[in-house]
Amino acid sequence: MDKERLRERVWDDLEESGEARFPFPPHGRIPNFAGADDAAERLADTGAWRDADVIKANPDAPQLPVRRAALRQGKTVYMAVPRLRDEKCFLRLDPAEIEDIDHATTVGGSAEVGVQVGPDEMERVDLIVSGSVAVTADGERVGKGEGYSDLEFAVLWELGLVEETTPVATTVHERQLVEADVPTGDHDVPLDLIVTPGRTLRTGGGETPAGIDWALLSDERRAEIPVLSRFDPR
């Protein structure tokens, strides 16, 4: 099944089943879901979480409980600037510098109180939490179709801030876990942990992409993402 058909199927199912949560509709986004808090608590019970001092997380609504749990436990959280549009392309949320964690972990709050940093100012990342539209038990992930999650990983790889052994996790509703043949490419980052409100799956992961796949980036996109100029082989 192609990725777009799979996305539509999952979005429709979450909406029709009543398991989707604000913001509505789930279509076109990383969908929020009933039980996101429970999934975040379950993720926090894993060894990958306990061993992590620095987490790179996505900014979407279903992972808001993950970001809050991280800050409340004293972990530093990095979030990408939307579309990596600035040279300082990540926001750092340092719990030692934040008074209101609930506010800081919203999209608006993180933009207000997060510190925008360039790659040279970042710490090594111990755990990545990605948002997903659909996942398979083998660790294949389907995002919302823009490719930024995989590109953010590739940028961190180029900077030496992640490596092959850096665990990648997601929190999803059980209905987002699908049995389908998902077409994946060498640039797709596999998942090591899939956490639903009711269970934790350790996938064994797959082959981690080693850096940026330049063949996938148009001249226009390269120009829109300033940090790429650091690595562009041309």
Question: What pLDDT shows up at residue 211?
Answer: 85
For residue 97, what are the CA distances in angstroms to 59, 115, 156? 19, 10, 24
- At residue 229, the 3 state secondary structure works out as helix
- pTM here is 0.94
pLDDT class of 217 with cuts at 50, 70, 90: confident
User: Which secondary structure element, helix H or strand E, spans residue 90, and what is its range?
Assistant: strand 90-93
- Paired with 115 in beta bridges are 92
φ, ψ dihedrals at 158, nearest 5°: -60, -30
Q: What gap in Å lies between CA 67 and CA 95, rounded to an integer?
A: 11
Tokens of 40: 């975040």
- At residue 59, the 3 state secondary structure works out as coil
Tens digit of each residue's pLDDT (9 = 90 or more) over 60-96? 999 999 999 999 999 999 999 988 899 899 999 999 9
Domains of the chain, first to last: 3-230 (3.40.50.10420)
φ, ψ dihedrals at 167, nearest 5°: -70, 145
